[in-house]
Structure 1
Amino acid sequence: MNQLAVPVLARYVRVLPQSWNGSLCMRLEVLGCPVPDPVNVQYQRNEATPVDYLEFRHHSYSEMVELIKSVNAECPNITSVYSLGRSSKGLDIMAMIISGNPTEHEIGEPELRFTAGLHGNEAVGRELLLLLMQFLCKEFRDRNPRVQRLVEGVRIHLVPSLNPDGHVEAFRAVGVTWGWHG
């Protein structure tokens, strides 16, 4: 564990792992706060702009697959869909790559994988990754410079449901009663 002795004001933080124990897994926690000077151009340029075109709702497995395929069809130049394998009940564990060149590993390009849905009844992470897919695709097409830099500079793997069997069971058990279809 490494902690910085004093706070650092930085636009980017680069993490360069030197070694690992057992597996290639890293946990990183970065706490940040906005720069208090509102006239600072750098701060204003990095602010996120809220969007209202995304609809938050819970998707069944088949709806999730359909959504992943539709995002891939909308942005075929920056997305690629692949399967991590099949669940014990035969469902595809689907993943999407979002990158400037999604079908190739580029030397020096960082790769991130965001995984959700390890437990079937944890639906929020799944929905957030589905929203992230849609957001990155639309904002890239709309030429959002911040999203374009991200997509061109990082290879992002999104796995919205690592346990599709568990989600199907939880979805079936809870169903309309708890508003999963809302």
Structure 2
Amino acid sequence: MASGRDERPPWRLGRLQLLPSPPLLLRLLLLLLRSSAQAAHIKKAEATTTTVAGSEAAEGQFDHYYHEEALGEALQAAAAAGPPGLARLFSIGSSVEGRPLWVLRLTAGLGPPPTAAAATTAGLDAAGPLLPGRPQVKLVGNMHGDETVSRQVLVYLARELASGYRRGDPRLVRLLNTTDVYLLPSLNPDGFERSREGDCGLGDSGPPGTSGRYNSRGRDLNRSFPDQFSTGKPPSLDEVPEVRALIDWIRKNKFVLSGNLHGGSVVASYPFDDSPKHTATGIYSKTSDDEVFRYLAKAYASNHPIMKTGEPHCPGDEDETFKDGITNGAHWYDVEGMQSTETALFPSIGLACLCIF
């Protein structure tokens, strides 16, 4: 990292002014989330029957999830849809069962990428150099293994960014010429592989390591981050190598905009997700940049055809409403150890993009 980088907390207004248009990436993501109903019903096909990503895109067919090696292959294909020097595929670490935690980096001017084998072995070193003055943005999906749509959406987003840059889409050219985008489609690949279509989270109470929601040691990744408001001992990071890898990656970078995609509702939730009082619900827990987070959450929600109504009518919570389609996390429900309360330095906006898991 360049020694002259601004060391202020990454969510200060001054830092956000580096972005050409903060809602631009969120609005682009929205274009893909609008097809989430189609993505929600795709089948988890065997890897041997997975369609090549390029031909899939050409035919406009998105009818299965990517398993195992197929996810890395789909991200490689997405990178290849752009011009040389636009993308780098690398792994930030491994899951409990040894599956790579793939990240696709997209920004103009990266130079020649390493080989696929080098990316697998070199880890973070394969990400390429930081580009001075270019704000970094990350989006993370599939933290709960059975919330699968975000995994697909981020692959589709990667493909749209790369191919759109190649074809000269002025919005995407401007975005990737000025912004450093990182997409992590699956933080919990082990849980994804255990998930079964139709479970919809109903197996969450099973024995440790059997539910798709958790990692292979029975840990909920989104309850396992160090928490500034914690009243007890946090889980050992040895139990959650996926969380450790994400924290190490975050600390090596300066992300100015972060999003974490989930299922289970249709709302943009902003920090903090818990409070010193730890009441079950109803306590508004502000960050020092509360107005910025509200602005970003509302910019997304106001452009989403369902979210903006504030009435998702999800099964089991038909009467649940959210003013303007947004909520403070702790005001919704107070939970320790979520990513957006890891510390005051690394908060993110949670985008719950579907009623189903």
TM-score clears 0.5: yes
Deviation at 1:116, TM superposition (A): 0.3
CA–CA distance in structure 2, aligned partners of residues 16 and 114 of structure 1: 16
Residue 91 of structure 2 is aligned to residue 83 of structure 1: yes
Partner of 1:74: 81
Deviations 1:97-148 (A, max 9, x none): 0001343212221100100010100111111100000101111110111100
The amino acid that maps onto 2:88 is S
CA distance 1:138–1:108, change in 2 (3 Å): same
Q: CA RMSD in A?
A: 2.7
Residue 141 of structure 2 is aligned to residue 116 of structure 1: yes
Partner of 2:109: 101
CA–CA distance in structure 2, aligned partners of residues 105 and 152 of structure 1: 14
Partner of 1:148: 173
CA–CA distance in structure 1, aligned partners of residues 138 and 158 of structure 2: 13
- Larger relative CO (CA 8 A, sep 6+): 1 or 2? 1
Structure 1: stretches of 5+ with no match in the other structure:
1-14, 19-28, 31-47, 176-182
The amino acid that maps onto 2:73 is E
CA distance 1:107–1:164, change in 2 (3 Å): same
Deviation at 1:62, TM superposition (A): 2.5
The amino acid that maps onto 1:125 is S
Residue 23 of structure 2 is aligned to residue 17 of structure 1: no
CA–CA distance in structure 2, aligned partners of residues 73 and 138 of structure 1: 9
Residue 62 of structure 2 is aligned to residue 56 of structure 1: yes
Structure 2: stretches of 5+ with no match in the other structure:
1-9, 14-21, 24-30, 36-56, 111-127, 199-357
CA–CA distance in structure 1, aligned partners of residues 137 and 99 of structure 2: 24
Q: Residue 174 of structure 1: SS of its match in structure 2?
A: coil
Partner of 2:252: none
Q: Residue 143 of structure 2: SS of its match in structure 1?
A: coil
Partner of 1:21: none
CA–CA distance in structure 2, aligned partners of residues 101 and 137 of structure 1: 13
CA distance 1:56–1:109, change in 2 (3 Å): same
Q: Residue 162 of structure 1: SS of its match in structure 2?
A: coil
Deviation at 1:56, TM superposition (A): 2.9
Q: Does the Cα contact within 8 Å between 2:140 and 2:186 map onto a contact in 1?
A: yes
Deviation at 1:16, TM superposition (A): 5.2
Partner of 2:214: none
Deviation at 1:60, TM superposition (A): 1.9
* TM-score computed with the length of structure 1 as normaliser: 0.64
Q: Which runs of 4+ in 1 moved over 4 A?
A: 50-54
Q: Identity over the aligned pairs, expressed in percent?
A: 24
